[in-house]
Structure formats: structure tokens, C-alpha cells
Amino acid sequence: MAFGERISIKTRSEIVSMRESARHVGEILLELRELVRPGVTTGELDRAAEKAIKDRGVTSSFKGYAPHDLPHYPAVLCVSVNDEIVHGIPGPRVLDDGDIVSLDFGVSLDGFHGDSAITVPVGRIDAEKQRLLNVTRECLDLAIETMAPGKRLSDIGHVVERHAEDAGYSVVRVFAGHGIGRQLHEAPWIPNYGRPGRGPRLMPGMVFAIEPMVDVGGPDVRMLDDEWTAVTADGSLSAHFEHTILITDDGADILTRVSGSH
Ligand code: MF3
Ligand code: CO
């Protein structure tokens, strides 16, 4: 991940391609969300995502992805349950009534990537879990509201951290949002915390994947032996929402938002 490099500005025609790939991501995530219920395995969700990718003639952004010496990511979908924060590998795990499950998904089309995530209830969840989902989603919404030309990069993380901490939660610090385009992960690194008014100014044509990860307990992370799945060190619940967002002349356009999605 070359997060130190300059932030790419997409041309008009590149933005057309990014809109397309992001729309597929948003639509497929909606389909996958409908499949979440008690008794479904995380592997079944991944296979449904594989089929949607094939049917639409797009390419997985995740399968085979291998940043910084990690083993190749083996699936097209990340499925992270309860205390799993991100990058859960789908498999035989059966979803239970009362779980919360994060679905993180990305595809490319014409060489441009889209990336989005939602956390949804499995069956019925209690009010405390629902509050975690609401607050994390609000963190993403607040981040997007602050995004416009002339704003500074650290303004994004600042509003995310403030909202999560006001609710009594913490934000994960070792993972962050990122630029996105020809690469799934481009510059800049976009932490979900920090002081406002720092870093580069946002400019039209920049595209960012913003992805708050919020824990009920502390922010510390433990990695599972599969080298991908990140869980909360204290076993507390964690939620994750993400959109791919274009900076426009007068604000921000949520490229992975389709009718009915988060
Ligand atoms: N939204 C996740 C991220 O930006 C996607 C990870 S893709 C994976 O970290 F292939 F690395 F799992
Ligand atoms: Co991402």
C-alpha cells in the first residue's frame, strides 16, 4: 500500500468507470444482505458473491489480494462476525440468531475498483448491538457530510472518532480508510481518528474509501492464525461500514450507494 504517495485525481472517463464498478458493489451487497439469516454459513455468502461477480462480468478486488507479505486473500467477500473487526475469511461458520455480521466487498471493472461494507443483524439482535450498528453507520454518514473540496484529510477521522467516543465506544486504529482507483488501496491512509485541520486538502476528482470500525470495548486488535481475521483483543463486539466516495465540485458523491442501501 503506497499510502505516502500523491493522491490521484480521476479524469471524467475514469470517474465513469468508477461509478460503474461502485454501482455493482452496492447492488451486490444489497443482494448479499438479503441472504443473511440464522443457519446460513459465511461460505454460502461468499459463494453467492462469486456467482454475482460471474453473472455481471466484473472482477473480484479481494480474491488473490496479497499486500505486504500476507498470504493471498482466498475469498471474494470478507465476513466478520461479532468480535471480528475486519477481513474475516468465509467458511463453514454458521450464523446464529443475535449475531452481527460485517460484509465487506469489492469489485473492479475496466481496471477501477469499488469497495463497500455493511454490518447487519442476524435474526433479532438486542438494543445494545443495534446501537453499535447505528453509531458506526452514523460515523460514516458524518464523515461523508464533512467531505468537500477545501476540507482537510484529517477532518474525516476527527468526526468519526468524536462520534464513536461520545457514544462510549472506541475506534480501531491499525486499520483505516484509503484512496481507491486503479488500485484497491491507494494513497492516502485515512485514519478514523485524529485532530482536524491537517493533511492535504480534498479536491474534486479524488476518490476515497471511508470505513469506520468501531468497538464496544477497547481499540486493540488481535490477529487470528489465518493471518487475515482481525478480532478485538478484549473480545468486545465490533462494527464496520464503508462507502467509496468521489469528491465533487461542491461536496461528495457516494458511488457505492444504490437505492435501498446504507
Ligand atoms: N475494505 C477492506 C479494506 O480496505 C477490503 C479488504 S480486501 C482484502 O481493508 F482482500 F484485503 F480482504
Ligand atoms: Co476498504
139 in contact with ligand 1, CB cutoff 6 A: no
In terms of pTM, does the model score above 0.85? yes
Ligand nearest to the CA of 208: 2
Of 80, 86, 207, which is best to mutate to test ligand 1, by the most ligand atoms within 8 angstroms of its C-beta?
Answer: 86
User: Which atom in ligand 1 lies closest to the alpha carbon of residue 65?
Assistant: 10
**188: cis peptide before it, omega within 30°?**
yes
Write the pLDDT tens digit of every residue in 218-259: 999 999 999 999 999 999 999 999 999 999 999 999 999 999
115 in contact with ligand 1, CB cutoff 6 A: yes
Cβ-count burial 171-208 (b if 16+ within 10 Å, e if not): bbbebbbbbbbebbbbbbbbbbbbebeebeebebbbbb
Could you give the CA distance from residue 223 to residue 169 in angstroms, rounded to a whole number?
20
State the residue for C-alpha cell 444504490: 258
User: Which atom in ligand 1 lies closest to the alpha carbon of residue 78?
Assistant: 12
Which residue, 154, 142, 47, 59, is CA-closest to 92?
A: 47
62 in contact with ligand 1, CB cutoff 6 A: yes
242 in contact with ligand 1, CB cutoff 6 A: yes
pLDDT tens for the chain, residues 1 to 262: 445 689 999 999 999 999 999 999 999 999 999 999 999 999 999 999 999 999 999 999 999 999 888 999 999 999 999 999 999 999 999 999 999 999 999 999 999 999 999 999 999 999 999 999 999 999 999 999 999 999 999 999 999 999 999 999 999 999 999 999 999 999 999 999 999 999 999 999 999 999 999 999 999 999 999 999 999 999 999 999 999 999 999 999 999 999 999 9
- Domains detected in the chain: 12-254 (3.90.230.10)
Write the pLDDT tens digit of every residue in 105-129: 999 999 999 999 999 999 999 999 9
